[in-house]
C-alpha cells in the first residue's frame, strides 16, 4: 500500500491574514517540517496543494498574481511529486488530485497543512468517503482562534481537538508525526 503526504495550503497567504498567530505557526512549522523531512527520508511522495481564490488582484493574498500563493516562509523545501491548485476547501474538488492518486496506486493519505478545521478536515472527510485510508497528522495542521457568534473566542487548541474527535475512527486515524511516519513505512 503506497502512502503519500498532502501538504495542504502551507502558503504565505495566511501570514497576511489578521488572525495569523506567529507563535502557533512556529510550533506547527516544527511538526510540519519534521513530517516533510521524515517523508523525504522514507521516500514517501509529497504533494503540494495550494489555494487560490477571490479576485485576481495583487492586494488579495490568495490570488496568484499577489505572489503569496507559494510555500510559507520557514517551510522545509521539498520537491513535490505533483502540485495542485484548488479553489475549494477539499483538495479533491476540481484539481485532478484524485486522478493522480489512483494512477499512482496511492491507498493512504497523510493530511497536513493549514487550516485544521477547514481544508485539512474537509479533504480528510472527502478522501475517506472516496475510499482512501487517511492519517490526520494533527500536530502538522495549523488552526487559529475564531470568533464565536454572539461573543467570545473559540481557542485554536479547542478547534484542533474538535477536528480530532469528529474525524477519529470515522474518517481518519489521528496521528502524531512519528506515528504517521511509522505507519507510512510499514505500509510500503
Domain regions of the chain by residue span: 2-187
Q: From CA 19, how far away is CA 8, in angstroms rounded?
A: 18
The closest alpha carbon to 186, from 120, 107, 115, belongs to 107
Question: Domain 2-187 is of which CATH architecture?
Answer: 3-Layer(aba) Sandwich (3.40)
Residue 188: pLDDT above 90? no
E strands, 21-168, are 46-51, 82-86, 106-114, 133-142, 146-147, 153-154
Residue 114: pLDDT above 90? yes
Q: Quote the cell numbers at residue 168.
A: 477519529
50-102: pLDDT as tens digits: 999 999 999 999 999 999 999 999 999 999 999 999 999 999 999 999 999 99
pLDDT band at 187 (very low <50, low <70, confident <90, very high): confident
Taking residues 158-163, report their average pLDDT: 98
Residue 135: per-residue pLDDT: 98
CB contact at 8 A, 142 and 116? yes
Q: From CA 10, how far away is CA 159, in angstroms rounded?
A: 18
Q: Quote the cell numbers at residue 107.
A: 491507498
Residues in the chain: 188
Residue 120: pLDDT above 60? yes
Taking residues 120-136, report their average pLDDT: 98
Residue 1: pLDDT above 90? no
Residue 153: pLDDT above 90? yes
Q: Phi first, then psi: what are they for 68, rounded to 5°?
A: -100, -10
Residue 39: per-residue pLDDT: 98
Residue 87: per-residue pLDDT: 97
Amino acid at each position: 500500500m503506497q502512502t503519500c503526504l498532502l501538504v495542504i495550503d502551507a502558503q504565505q497567504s495566511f501570514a497576511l491574514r489578521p488572525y495569523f498567530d506567529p507563535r502557533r505557526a512556529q510550533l506547527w512549522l516544527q511538526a510540519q517540517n519534521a513530517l516533510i523531512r521524515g517523508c523525504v527520508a522514507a521516500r514517501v511522495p509529497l504533494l503540494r496543494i495550494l489555494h487560490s481564490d477571490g479576485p485576481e488582484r495583487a492586494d488579495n493574498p490568495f490570488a496568484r498574481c499577489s505572489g503569496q500563493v507559494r510555500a510559507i516562509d520557514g517551510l522545509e523545501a521539498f520537491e513535490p511529486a505533483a502540485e495542485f491548485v484548488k479553489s475549494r476547501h477539499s483538495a479533491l474538488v476540481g484539481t485532478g488530485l484524485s486522478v493522480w492518486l489512483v494512477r499512482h496506486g496511492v491507498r493512504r493519505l497523510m493530511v497536513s497543512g493549514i487550516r485544521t478545521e477547514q481544508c485539512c478536515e474537509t479533504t480528510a472527510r472527502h478522501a475517506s468517503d472516496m475510499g482512501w485510508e487517511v492519517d490526520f497528522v494533527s500536530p502538522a495542521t495549523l488552526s487559529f482562534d475564531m470568533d464565536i457568534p454572539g461573543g467570545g473566542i473559540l481557542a485554536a487548541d479547542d478547534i484542533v481537538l474538535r477536528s480530532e474527535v469528529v474525524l477519529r475512527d470515522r474518517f481518519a486515524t489521528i496521528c502524531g508525526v512519528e506515528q504517521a511516519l511509522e505507519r507510512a513505512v510499514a505500509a510500503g
